[in-house]
Amino acid sequence: MLVLALIASNLYKTFKGKVKALQGLSLAIREGEVYGLVGPNGSGKTTALRIIATLLKPDSGKVQIFGIDALESPYQARKLLSYLPEEANVYERLTGWENLLFFARLFESNRERALEMAWYGATISGLGAEIHRRAGEYSKGMKRRLLLARALMVNPRVAILDEPTAGLDIFSSVKIREMIREHARARKTTVLLSSHNLFEVEKICDRVGFIYKGRLLEEGAPRELIEKYKVESLEEAFMSAIKSALH
């Protein structure tokens, strides 16, 4: 049975009365799906993710998370969500393990369950013994893996990830992609992520949405979009979709 985890309907958002960040954006994402929202800077990706994560209110439109009206009942919706912003950081004076345990205790009052949650986070981070080093000594890639583990260890039904591999080297990017894909498969977590890296999106996403000037231009499985536009890569498909929209 097809279950829709997330429905965003006709979202509009204007900043300072003139910057139109979203212009009728609609998304429907299935349970257990990894969905990539891709577009150039200023296309509205981060605004859309913040609205869906209940951190920003749209001018109009609706968001439902497993049937819950996220705009009317944000606290109820947040129980099902986890959000990793692009600009997130770690507590550098704490070890990686202490970072995870701190956030686990915020989510779970029972100490034993909080410890289990933190251990799961430590495991999926892939940091091994490095988890006991101060996070301030970590590389950017290690910090990002810790942050992603922090977002996923709470076992959200929907994980919202804004540019999870931004600025990372190839090794770190591959590790992050593996973490996302493996967790989604193991826990049936729905993942909505934004990325500039279309190669990355092509590798890990079940479906992709092309966003441009606050509107959804096209969506589908990466291979379907490549075949539709008769090109060799998702990057070329995206450029073709933009050209079609401009004509």
Is the pLDDT confidence value at 219 over 90? Answer: yes
**Residue-by-residue DSSP string for 44-90:** SHHHHHHHHTTSS--SEEEEEETTEETTT-HHHHHTTEEEE-TT---
Amino acid 222: pLDDT: 96
How many distinct structural domains can be found in the chain? 1
Is the pLDDT confidence value at 78 over 80? Answer: yes
Out of 13-17, 34-38, 58-62, 243-247, pick the least confident: 243-247
Q: How deeply is 171 buried, as exposed, middle or buried, from its count of CB atoms within 10 A (0-12, 13-18, 19+)?
A: exposed
The residue that leads in pLDDT, 198 or 26, is 26
d(CA 23, CA 127): 41
pLDDT digits (tens, 9 = 90+) for 112-146: 999 999 999 999 999 999 999 999 999 999 999 99
Structural domain including 115 reads 4-246
User: 199 pLDDT band (50/70/90 cuts)?
Assistant: confident
196: Cα separation from own chain's centroid: 13
List, edge to edge, every strand of the sheet that includes 158-162: 81-84, 158-162, 190-195, 34-38, 207-212, 215-220
Return the CATH number at 136: 3.40.50.300
Amino acid 135: pLDDT: 98
Looking at the chain, the whole-number percentage of residues with pLDDT higher than 90 is 89
User: 197 pLDDT band (50/70/90 cuts)?
Assistant: confident
Reduced to 3 states (helix: H, G, I; strand: E, B; else coil), residue 91 is coil
pLDDT digits (tens, 9 = 90+) for 176-188: 999 999 999 999 9
